[in-house]
Structure 1
């Protein structure tokens, strides 16, 4: 043990230091500070230092035995404090999947990069899950190990952070699906026709998305106060992030990112759709006692925004050859319409709230390719 004398604002203080060797052979230092360097103080310091060393060694034994599952649960609870509710839900799902594919009861320190790589390869290459989902699971595992390192439960995680998941080559059907993620004019017309027969309000909502490019959550979060009829625009400043049943409490959260907060100009048809919903809601408020006016525009008979699963139920009943009809296909359709009109890419990104041009370009490029093909067809018919 050695003593260091330090002058502080409160007078002299004495730091008592001792070294010990951990289970991995590393030399570590441990210290305590007392107000005296008398013999009694030195004896007290010696006792306290060895107690701290014993505690550190005991904690080291516990840390060595700690399981991946326990650390994963700790990380999930810790991360939930600083993320959006839906992100926390996704974290929970990813942790659950990680625990399912890794050895049951595996200790954190015993899992190797090879173990994780094998588990991820089995999940992705031999399963039917998407690359995006599997990649998210892998990223969650890496975040758990980073958390463990910050907690000093493990020292070297370099090999685990280097584990990568390479995307499988696209199949012919996947390539077609990747390109066909929007509706052309005829398909959109037929889709809306079928929806009108199934559920008119949902048909109008999907038409509104195809004219504005909103995400469905943004559409459902629209309130009367967000509608500026005089200036023919809406203010996108929220999204519905949790809505599990028609009668459940609605949770309105912030948009996906800062780029999602925006004003969207409206054409006459979009204004007509908004006005029709607002008028219908006023009628419900007058004549239906169960209607609770929360200020939302696209609501059911009880005043809650429409349920996402409920909308999806009707969209799955729509049959458009070669197309998987979801709420997002109408958003992509809006991008394709703007591309066909020759609207600049940056203006489209601002309108739909994109910050990464890759998503917009995947639709924009395909549409412009079709337009080029159409130009050639017209030129072939042109005679001089």
Structure 2
């Protein structure tokens, strides 16, 4: 410690090593006199200042340790599928960061470049997903003082790529027209009548496949279904699927069924009742009451349905989710308000709903113009 005379008194100064940069820094405190008492007080205050500034010891914290700490903190609080998503992000980031990257050496410029590349390589949605994990990780590390600041994540954004004509057209590929739905269901029916009924039920209710598979007899009252869970398929061979928490609070909803949807659901219930009465399986003996089941009585298998869909000839990519989007398109075409559609399919953010809704209403406008042309 040394002392310098100033206009307002005596400045006592001391140096310390900044743990972030390894460089020498200086702290100072001004006292009214240079007495021994003042010197002692100045020394104590300087030591407290240095302790506060050197409290951070983040140079030993690795970038991937920060992310892993956040992932570990969410164990038991989020669904297994969400945890799997976190782990996939952690693995993907290894394409862009060395394993021994120090957390406090990641600059905003470098991180922004990584996010730009992720969006260009995959999509805006994927870039947003990575950003969310990084933001949560950095903020947790800042709160726990594992890093001095989460400022790096506050200085970056997820860029939105301007949609090309091809990208816009791809949005149209996410749902089937009425005629396409009719043709696709006919092909599926030839492969598997049960799968055809399941896909048709999705197109009439807008349920996610996991929500459909999790439905039980007690969730149907003869008029509507109570959507309150999603089926989680096992990651390990030998494990059994189970009813997990819904995607979010907006996914919990009552969905009224039209006559055809009720007929499909009750067809499966009748089939299950016959099996339970005449040839009960272990699923029946254990008290399972799933509605959409396999011939063995277990909940319908997503992998089997997808394998069936891969056999179908269609100029659009078929997955179980296309029937959910098709439901949105059918409601939009019928003039159902956007908010009502969102509530029915369990959407909180209008982005996905609006994407399908907009494309359908644009087609309707084209049909309106064509109708006007025929008037003259």
- Band the TM-score falls in, shorter-chain normalisation: 0.7 to 0.9
Deviation at 1:180, TM superposition (A): 2.9
User: Which residue is equivalent to 1:183?
Assistant: 176
User: Which residue is equivalent to 1:353?
Assistant: 346
Deviation at 1:147, TM superposition (A): 1.6
Q: Would the aligned equivalents of 1:285 and 1:291 in 2 still touch at CA under 8 Å? A: no
User: Which residue is equivalent to 2:37?
Assistant: none
Deviation at 1:168, TM superposition (A): 2.4
Do residues 310 (structure 1) and 301 (structure 2) align? no
Any idea what SS the aligned residue of 2:152 has? Answer: helix
Do residues 283 (structure 1) and 274 (structure 2) align? yes
Deviation at 1:288, TM superposition (A): 3.6
User: Which residue is equivalent to 1:13?
Assistant: none
Cα separation, 1, equivalents of 2:81 and 2:226 = 22
Which moves more between the two structures, 97-106 or 328-337? 97-106
Cα separation, 2, equivalents of 1:148 and 1:244 = 30
Residues 177-202 of structure 1 deviation map (CA, whole Å, 9 limit, x = unaligned): 11232111110011101111222211
Do residues 122 (structure 1) and 117 (structure 2) align? yes
State which of 362, 370, 373 in structure 2 corresponds to 1:377: 370
Do residues 264 (structure 1) and 258 (structure 2) align? no
Q: In structure 2, do the counterparts of structure 1 residues 240 and 186 end up closer, same or farther at CA, with 3 Å as the change threshold? A: same
How many residues are matched?
A: 337
Cα separation, 1, equivalents of 2:78 and 2:166 = 36
TM-score, normalization: structure 2?
0.81
- Mapping of residues 188-199 of structure 1, within 5 Å: 188-199=181-192
State which of 316, 319, 324 in structure 2 corresponds to 1:326: 319
- Mapping of residues 1-384 of structure 1, within 5 Å: 23-24=18-19, 25=25, 61=57, 63-125=58-120, 127=121, 129-229=122-222, 232-244=223-235, 248-293=239-284, 294-321=288-315, 323-382=316-375
Cα separation, 2, equivalents of 1:163 and 1:219 = 39
Deviation at 1:89, TM superposition (A): 1.6
Residues 118-151 of structure 1 deviation map (CA, whole Å, 9 limit, x = unaligned): 33333343x3x22211321122122221121112
Deviation at 1:110, TM superposition (A): 1.7
Q: In structure 2, do the counterparts of structure 1 residues 252 and 342 end up closer, same or farther at CA, with 3 Å as the change threshold? A: same
Any idea what SS the aligned residue of 2:75 has? Answer: helix
Any idea what SS the aligned residue of 1:235 has? Answer: strand
Deviation at 1:208, TM superposition (A): 0.2
Deviation at 1:329, TM superposition (A): 1.2
Cα separation, 1, equivalents of 2:168 and 2:373 = 29
Cα separation, 1, equivalents of 2:356 and 2:166 = 17
Any idea what SS the aligned residue of 2:76 has? Answer: helix
Q: Would the aligned equivalents of 1:102 and 1:119 in 2 still touch at CA under 8 Å? A: no
Cα separation, 2, equivalents of 1:302 and 1:141 = 44
Cα separation, 2, equivalents of 1:246 and 1:353 = 31
Q: Would the aligned equivalents of 1:224 and 1:295 in 2 still touch at CA under 8 Å? A: yes
**Pairwise CA RMSD:** 3.0
User: Which residue is equivalent to 1:41?
Assistant: none
Q: Would the aligned equivalents of 1:184 and 1:333 in 2 still touch at CA under 8 Å? A: yes
